[in-house]
Structure 1
């Protein structure tokens, strides 16, 4: 039984092939924009972690593979990085394109490239508008990769997409990719409540559902309820994710880089030993130089 037969993860108009666009009806995209705010609402720990490692490693060009509404890309553009931002959701990209238009008088945004692309064909998609380009860094953050479900039961598509991320990196380049602490969510049936990415201005309630098929967790559904008390508005939407366990995801990442990358894992942007039950695991891999 597929996840879609149990949880309605898709809206009308979402393609049946490729990375599923759970934002296709525009509702979640609008609400998500309210949830994450703008680049000024990013947590300082997140900014310091990402920008610090990029600058420490001399990164200048960055591929944001899940740019969404463009908030993280804008944060990096403001710091002087050259950004190529892609997403599979045209509804999310509309927000990014609008944000770039609003910044058109700022010269830093002149070279910000925004295109639609699919992780399954990522290197080919990039080649179509930037032939022969590899990047100093690739980012896929905010639990974005877990949107890609496991339709075949062997994670073959997920593994292929991770290899595509590696292909887009220069030798010595960095991949930043994360996932929620699904180990804890599966064990407890609840989502760790703290946010490491967003300083959201609104009360947010997240209800967690775990689908188990054949004794194996196959999907986690998060029902977001965001309350705007000032305007007396409540926004609700559901997003579904593949529950990546830390050990298995670590193994898949290493295999995507032919077991030759330097691989560091962080818990909520801190060393693993400092956070007993993190909300997120963040992986940073450095591609081998030869």
Structure 2
């Protein structure tokens, strides 16, 4: 597979300064909620893991830095947190805004802030609607960070965005960030079949492709095919392609530590369980606790 084929297949919309919007054509955004599944049945371990750690550390104000359709933000609001939700994709944000409107009679949702923002300019973007804001926690989950590709081949943009996450955290605050098990995908050419985030009741097929340039994996492409025709609202199978940067576990650990000046407490989980309990996880979840001074 050539890089030209991949980039011609990607949406080219740039919603704001920075991250290209792979959801700009609306295909993935329209079907993503079906892939996620019933929001009321959100993966139990995920809810307990995230909410439990936030409450354990006394977090109240949370920035969802990749809110997408708003599903995780709503889960946190229902758990009693004050949530600010941002995303670089206006197509995704439309779904979050619609969800907030549908919840308008619920007082818990009165303070839910939803805005467009780029990771590359995150402190400045947040400053336009919440000047000087810092958060008890920042979440960037669901393999969202891997959407940011390595344009300059030295990961400078990725490193800058991770530093921006650290900047908007209060001292002692937590960053939750994850990535798929790209090591396994590179080694096997397949995506681990089990899911920890999604409860899709429809048949889902994911074709995995790895682009190698000069002996180095540069892009992982996932071609999704979701057959939701049985609900009668969609008349054909939904197909879309998303591209990801293949973060290897050890290099991502190093990059995260550097973003926090090697002073943060860094914990790693596998599918929301202790790392040593899972042999071949679908996801690695990193929790960074910013230094107090």
| TM class, shorter-length | over 0.9
Other-structure match for 2:160: 160
Report if aligned partners of 2:12, 2:20 keep a CA contact under 8 Å in 1. no
| SS at 1:173 equivalent | strand
Q: Structure 2 vs 1, CA of residues 287 and 272 (structure 1 numbering), >3 Å: closer, same or farther?
A: same
TM-score by length of 2: 0.95
Q: Is the 8 A contact 2:144 2:179 kept in 1?
A: yes
Per-residue deviation at 1:233? 3.4
Structure 2 Cα separation of the partners of residues 260 and 169 of structure 1: 14
3-state SS of 1:195 partner: coil
**C-alpha RMSD of the superposition:** 1.5
8 Å contact kept, 2:16–2:88:
no
* Equivalences for residues 94-173 of structure 1 within 5 A: 94-173=94-173
1:280 aligns with 2:274: no
Where in structure 2 are there 5+ consecutive unaligned residues? none
Q: Is the 8 A contact 1:4 1:10 kept in 2?
A: no
Matched-pair contact (CA < 8 Å) for 2:23–2:89: yes
Q: Deviations over 1:213-247 (max 9, x none)?
A: 00000000000111125246311110000000000
Say whether the 8 Å CA contact 1:10–1:20 is kept in structure 2. no
Q: In the TM superposition, what is the alpha-carbon distance from 1:28 to its structure 2 partner?
A: 1.0
Aligned residues: 289
Secondary structure at the residue paired with 1:129? coil
Instruction: State the match for 2:39 in structure 1.
Output: 39
Q: Aligned partners of 2:181, 2:27: CA distance in 1, in Å?
A: 26
What is residue 247 of structure 1 aligned with on the other side?
250
3-state SS in 1 of match to 2:10: coil
1:66–1:38 CA distance, 2 compared to 1 (3 A): farther
- Give per-residue Cα distances to partners, 1:112-138, cap 9 Å, x unaligned: 000000000001111111111100000
CA contact (8 A) 2:17 2:118 kept: no
Equivalent residue, structure 1, for 2:195: 195
Distance of aligned partners of 1:7 and 1:136 in 2 relative to their CA distance in 1, 3 Å threshold: same
